[in-house]
Amino acid sequence: MINPFELLKIKDLFNLKEWWEDKRYGKNKELRALARRVLKVLDAHRIPTARIQTVFPEFNLQFKDFKNLDSLISILNEQFLEAFSNKFFINREWLETGEGNPQEQFEHGYELQSIYDYLVKLKPSENQTIIAHFIAQTGTEFVPANNYDTHQGLVVALEFFEHDDPKSGFEYSRYQLLYVGYWHYYKTRMMIKAISLVCFKLGFIQKGWFSKYANHQGVEKYLVNEIFDHTNHNSWYPDDYIFTSKRSACSKDDDDAQLFHNHLKEIGFYEKIKRINS
């Protein structure tokens, strides 16, 4: 007779153990779920427990604090949860209850001013590099940019690449969900292009990707770096779509680029963005 436990993989045995402990410590069920979400965020950012003290030097964290869920629960106070949420741009409601999107989206509408103000105030440090990622939903065709042609999404996220002393070899990235829109919808396409132009003027590295989860439904379920885990090998260049051929030999859509520049003039941002370097 086959022993059913022999059919379980290590991960399944761990889940079985967690299930039993949840049953045993029923009164701590919500706290244990919170602790799992904290571990999920750390794992998604590929931060080993031995380096958590480096990420949060303001807390006297020890390796033993992350030995199991119960030891982790003991450090989940208000101060740590607030710092943790801010560090990784996590939605506090999701962290505590599992409800809502995992990450806060910076801008939901068409308010360019708020994103402009935020971006121009960012100051990369000696040990930090800022990268703007534009993740289009797999299958998106950028040209022609017909309005309402498709409902494929596009996620804009900032990566804060933290690189410590080179001798230590420790580095990690934090991802902020900046904006989610549709390429084939005029208002959100203009927002996406404006963000790209501001990032270009600020000298931020820009990268374009494709992922099947780069839409509103994807950010409701996944962290930004989990969406990155599902990007394919194809890439594109966001700044190919913000300049006309008179400015860039790499221009991919003259008509829509001119439409974009006219749009910036209409809303009073053309000269403002033009003067960023000065």
Res 126: pLDDT: 86
Give the other-Cβ count within 10 Å of 260's Cβ. Answer: 25
- Compute the C-alpha angle 121/123/128, nearest 5°: 145
As beta bridge partners, residue 180 has 155
Report how far residue 244's alpha carbon sits from residue 267's, in angstroms, rounded to the nearest whole number. 19
| Per-residue pLDDT tens over the stretch 67-82 | 888 889 999 999 999 9
Per-residue pLDDT, averaged over 157-185, amounts to 89
Whether pLDDT at 19 is above 60: no
Res 63: pLDDT: 82
As beta bridge partners, residue 84 has none
Whether pLDDT at 14 is above 50: no
Identity at 127, one-letter amino acid code: N
Please say whether the beta carbons of 94 and 104 come within 8 A.
no
Q: What is the dihedral of CA 253, 270, 195, 171, to 10 degrees?
A: 120
Whether pLDDT at 212 is above 60: yes
- Which strands sit side by side in the sheet containing 231-236, from one edge to the other? 171-182, 153-163, 128-137, 205-211, 231-236
More confident residue, 166 or 227: 227
Whether pLDDT at 97 is above 80: yes
Q: What is the 8-class DSSP label of residue 221?
A: H
Where are the strands (E) in 41-152, listed by range? 128-137
Collect all residues with Cβ–Cβ distance below 8 Å to 189 and sequence separation of at least 6.
Answer: 145, 181, 182, 183, 256
| Per-residue pLDDT tens over the stretch 261-277 | 999 999 999 999 999 97
Per-residue pLDDT, averaged over 80-109, amounts to 96
Alpha helices in 108-215 (DSSP H): 112-121, 186-202
Please say whether the beta carbons of 178 and 157 come within 8 A.
yes
Res 165: pLDDT: 60
More confident residue, 33 or 26: 33
